[in-house]
Copies of this chain bind each other. A is one copy, B any other.
Amino acid sequence: MRWKRMLWSTAVAMSFSPLAQADEGMWMPSQLPSIGRPLKAAGYRGDPSALADLTRPPLSAVVKVGGATGAFVSEQGLVLTNHHVAFGVIQYNSNAQRNLIEQGYVATDRSEELPANPDFRLRVTVGFEQVTDRVLTDARGKTGRAYYDAVDAAGKALVAACEREDGMRCSVATLFYGRDFYLVKQLELRDVRLVYAPPRAIGNYGDEVDNFMWPRHSGDFTVLRAYVGPDGKPADYSKDNRPYTPPEHLKIAREGVNEGDFVMLAGYPGITYRHRSAAEFADQVQWRLPASVAAMKQLQEVIEDAGEKDAQAKIRYASQLQSLKNNIKRFSGELEGLKRSDAVAVRQQDEAAMLAWLDKQGTAKALRPQIDAAMAAIAAGNASRERDLLLGLLQSQTQLLRSALRLQRLAHERGKPDAERENGYQQRDEELIASGLRQVQRRYDPAVEKRLLTALLTRYQQLPAAQHVAEFDAAFGRTPTELATTLDRVYAATALGDEAQRLRWMDADAAALATADDSLLQLAAKLQPALLRIDDERKAREGDLLRLRPAYMQALIAYREQQGRAVYPDANATLRVSYGKVTALKARDAVGYAPLTSTAGIVEKNTGVAPFDAPKPLLDAIARGDYAGYLDPKSGSMPVNFLSNLDTTGGNSGSPVLNAKGELVGLNFDSNWEAVSASWMFDPRYKRAIHVDLRYMRWLMDKVYPAPWLLQELGVPAR
């Protein structure tokens, strides 16, 4: 699925059985009243029905920050999010003379708040309207590509109409994979300022070493403030702007939480696959993850080997290498976790039981032919999975070839009305494309790119005939020798290595590009028809899945209902709520992790060398032990981070963590390593979320890098 621009989603109109529920669940706000009983049983003291309304607290205080989350925490527009979410803002305000990344930043009053980078945005969801009928009207009766296009066109029209209102950013989201569609309307705040950030060595203590790890000791928070124009409307930065007044803000709790306490969290989880079919689980575990890791490891080796021989190439590919390593680590962790949870067998048994149950029902069993058709469409997509993986890497892991392909595609899309262009190639995207073309200069080395292409295309050449693409065979040859000759020739003759040349071609039309005298643009022109055709095939398959998969979801929802369980839709970057409790972790045999860490652990980990180089003011304050008013009463130690079983995924960074009274006690910032596989399966034994304990934030603001005026505004004055 590639619905990146349009956020698809679906609401659950049916009523759920109000029975006990596992802690698993990224609930749509509208679902919360229907699971009120388990929510209250878990310890929530508020009114579950009040949680359904996006325009009422606490949900009205939750904001989208880039691809992550934050929350309003004062009447005057203060926003609390993660240090790593606001990192770009801190970086934008840093230079060699004043390095806010290293030193942190404490505005001593409002006049010292620093403007964020101009493209930084806060979005507040103000509308979430069912539009299923409007989206599907034209699609009904169609199949494949036509179904896809009808949904796409209806969605784009709704978004365009919605965005006519000033300051609004809109999208269409599908929930339950094509069953329901919602129009998401978000107020977009463009003037955001930096108020308070701890130094990197607090905000990102442990960095990559501790990433995904528990126990954790990171002060991963930053305070921002949203501003609006004098008229109260969203505006670009201006000295004359004034703080935005949010409809509601969260109140910071006076007390902290400890093991077993109820907690809940709201945010924008990005993507999960929990309701995918058993066949897709098997594909992920048995083929996709191992195959991706193997291919990426080969690319890693190519880059590392090249870097050993060429210092400049090493620098140019450092970022790509880092990204490959991260992906290899994450994919490996996901694979390890899915195996540990026996996910394939568990999902297979569950699905088989669901289908057996379905076949015994009266009307419901009418869903079966559609389910079988969906399964067949999924299986059909797998026929070319090896090829598609390689073609994907060919475009994501090269610099110059990707530039050439993008230039050709842009010229092609420009031949259509803007509204009909492919996502990523509309007028609004062109600046991003240009910026990508410029970046190539710092990340490209012809010898390395040729070796990466050799690795990928050698694998391609070894694929069975059925997966071969005529245009690729013609362009690159069918033997290693032909491939080597082609690459040498093309890269020797292209001028695209020159930044001005690349940018110049952005202004050329399709005809000029089709007859370009550049060897790499000529190669891209030969490949383009194949890539467009493959894209068409994918969209046709996705159109069918969008049409057929709702039957699978409907069967699953009905099956769960008779089990007494509600079903939440897979995450898709829309606002969700999860609840659970502060929970220890038994990660392995005889290994237990307590749910709260303390400042003692900062000292234990500290080596004086990054990433374990706690700043002196922090170490001094710990040595003084001046914790009055902030200690955890149960352990008698100063909390830093805590662990819960809340259901989260990427995008939940910066999500506010609330106690049973709805008060703010923590800030979500990571998951544990054992939970990397939770995007596919929530295993209650291992799935944990990692939060900043707000007592730590308050203590830092009170005793270490004091900001008394800020604590006052946050409603928790210095002690």
Choose one: B340, B590, B593, B604; the contact of A597 (CB below 8 Å). Answer: B590
Contacts of A588 in B (CB 8 A): 215, 601, 604
Interface check A636, CB cutoff 8 A:
no
Whether B601 lies near A215 (C-beta < 8 A) is: no
CA distance A217 to B588 in the complex (A): 12
In the complex, A589→B593 CA distance in Å? 9
Q: How many copies of the polypeptide does the oligomer hold?
A: 2
Interface flag for A596 (CB, 8 Å): yes
* Mask of A186-229 contacts with B, CB within 8 angstroms, 1/0: 00000000000000000000000000001101000000000000
Q: How far is the CB of A337 from chain B (nearest CB, A)?
A: 12
A621 at the interface (CB under 8 A from B): no
Which residues of chain B are within 8 angstroms of A598 by Cβ–Cβ distance?
589-590
**Contact with A589, one of B340, B589, B595, B604 (Cβ below 8 angstroms):** B604
Of listed A214, A592, A593, A596, residue having the most chain B CB within 10 A: A592
Which residues of the partner chain B approach A590 to less than 8 Å between Cβ atoms? 214-215, 593-598, 601
Give Cα distance in the complex from A294 to B502, angstroms: 52
Answer yes or no: A714 CB below 8 A from chain B CBs.
Answer: no
Nearest chain-B residue to A588 (Cβ)? Answer: B604
Q: How far is the CA of A295 from the CA of B492 in the complex (A)?
A: 50
Residue A628 interfacial (CB < 8 Å): no
The CA-CA distance from A591 to B210 in the complex, in Å, is: 14
- Given the complex of chains A and B, what is the CA–CA distance between A593 and B340 in angstroms? 21
Proximity bits, A575-610, B CB within 8 Å = 1, else 0: 000000000000011111111111011001000000
Q: Which of B589, B594, B595 contacts A215 (CB 8 A)?
A: B589
Chain B residues within an 8 Å CB radius of A214: 590
Residues of B within 8 A of A217 (CB): 589
Give A264 to B591 CA distance when docked, in angstroms.
25
Which chain A residues in 330-349 approach chain B with CB under 8 Å?
340
Interface contact A592-B589, CB-CB below 8 Å: no
Of all A-B residue pairs in the complex, the 10 with the closest CB atoms, nearest first, are A589-B601, A215-B590, A590-B594, A592-B592, A590-B597, A589-B600, A589-B597, A588-B604, A589-B598, A590-B593
- Give 28 A-B contacts (CB < 8 Å), ordered by A residue: A214-B590, A215-B588, A215-B589, A215-B590, A215-B591, A217-B589, A340-B604, A588-B601, A588-B604, A589-B597, A589-B598, A589-B600, A589-B601, A589-B604, A590-B593, A590-B594, A590-B595, A590-B596, A590-B597, A590-B598, A590-B601, A591-B591, A591-B592, A591-B593, A591-B594, A592-B592, A592-B593, A592-B594
